[in-house]
Chain A
Amino acid sequence: MAVSVDEAVATGPARDHTPPARRRGGRGRSVLEVALLTLLAVVMLFPVLWMIETSIKENRDVYAIPAKFFDFTITLDHYRDVFVDPDGGRSALSVSFLNSVVVAGASTVLATVLGVPAAWAYSRFAVKAKKDQLFFILSTRFMPPVVVVIPIFLMYRQVGLIDNKLGLILIYSAFNVPFTIWMMKGFVDEVPAEYEDAAMLDGYTRLQAFRRFTLPLLVPGIAATAVFALIFSWNEFVFATFLTSSDDVRTAPPAIAGLIGGTTTDWGLVAAASVVFALPVLVFAYLVRKHLIAGVTLGAVRR
């Protein structure tokens, strides 16, 4: 993994000046670069900070003109509203969070169970037209969701999977399987096939060799892959919004988007819900940061 490697590419500029001048020029430039980086980091992070700030502001401070950056009253009311209904009991949002957990979890398990063995088989065996198959698998992942959702909608209407968690789980699995196969194939390729050959010389079957010797070595890779699948399913919006409608089934993304439907929008609540929704993703993404490049390119680019 290249990013976390703490080894400079080129340490400082090397110009054709005399040493002292060169050092001063280097420092001036270095300061400029640090300043530029800081500015960019602030710009990139400001919306996130503003979201967190809005989520703990009192309503009158949320809509203050000009915007209040520092002296506002802190409240956790919005967070309470995310989970608790005004009339008591669980809020619709908290139900949708629970649905998201179920849908994302189940689809990740299904994609892993189907994808990991397939990845192993693609890595180990001479499959006919292997490359074409793998490219076909990956290209299904690039289909525009809006196009896929039209026939899926009609299909689900026929079999009663509209507004059903199982319907979402299936379509998310189908979108995660290509990713799982590509990502896992990379991990399997890294485990020498000789381990299995040796085990088979000892009398194990191929399947046993896979289960007893290769699979344990793949566990970290499987975990990382599953985390990315989890994030994709958790964040997905298009299928969720078109294939579900009722509060009991709806996942969090369409539920949060639904908060802005009316005439007035409670932006404090939107911000709090967004923070609650985004926090697990950021934690999980941090856990798999070593595999981020492979993860976000669907396993296509590995370092």
Chain B
Amino acid sequence: MNKKILMKGNEALAEAAIRAGCRYYFGYPITPQNEVPAYMSKRLPEVNGVFVQAESELASINMIFGAGACGARCMTSSSSPGISLMQEGISYISGAETPAVIVNMMRGGPGLGNIAPSQGDYFQAVKGGGHGDYKIIVFAPASAQEIVNFTVLAFDLTIKYRIPVMILGDGLLGQMTEPVVLPEMKEIQDDINWSICRGQDQVIIRSLYLVPENQLELHNLHLQKKYRSIEKDLNKYYEQYNANDCDYLIFAYGTTARVCKAAIDRLQKENIKIGLFRPISLWPFPKEEIISISSKIKKAFVFEMAQAQFEEDIRLSFEGKKEIKGFYKLGGAIFNDDEIYELIKKNI
């Protein structure tokens, strides 16, 4: 096993991508993810990879569309405003079914907002920020180590399912330095039989189907079938922290969930039976598990750095059967554990 080293979240992500076989990176500078392109620009040439600083996020997402059309393991990274610009391309990539790993280290919004950590892009990520009926796989890690693990998984899944996979972090996770264990460098030879540039009969990578009934409708039905099978396959990515035999359960993801744990430790010392349920894959959403756990508790709390976006999916899972109380931080503000502790004490 490789030894533990200290790395910034963004750099750990970049190195994990390379070890997962990513050899093509296209990106445009934006804070708080600038360590990713900086790392890639130095490291990719060492492994015979390609780094291109694109002229915009519109260009970078389309460059990975081109690279993905060749069946390549490719990645772009950005932060909220840049990810908004990429939505057009994400819709096209989803329609055309090419692989792409997209990193969003979220920052405060709306608009130019600020460069502080946020979870305000939840809807955009999991409900589809671009046009049309499509889904992308979204992982929300909560530590540098999880960033590494889920980045590696993201590349395998994007190749397997030909669907964009997003790593949804935030400025805090990207900037924080933590110990990580990196995986071995993978020697990748993906067995791809659908891509362009294989010297075979014509391959067309497209999202245009002019006839509704027997073309675009069928294509959409095919996509929906794929999404249902992904939902079935990827239903195990969540963490439960002291979640058995609880009166109260906190729902939170990413950075916020981590802060919640500290509050839970304090509350438990006071014999308050409270735990945490943390989805790691935000789509597919671990709905079944949440439905099952919801029947065992008295009341749920939701904490997120956004206005009741993640909470909406919790409510949809609960179907109104139990009380849910949500707490939000907006515009790049973050929770601290004292605050969470007090809020829980007041509301139980």
A, B bound: no
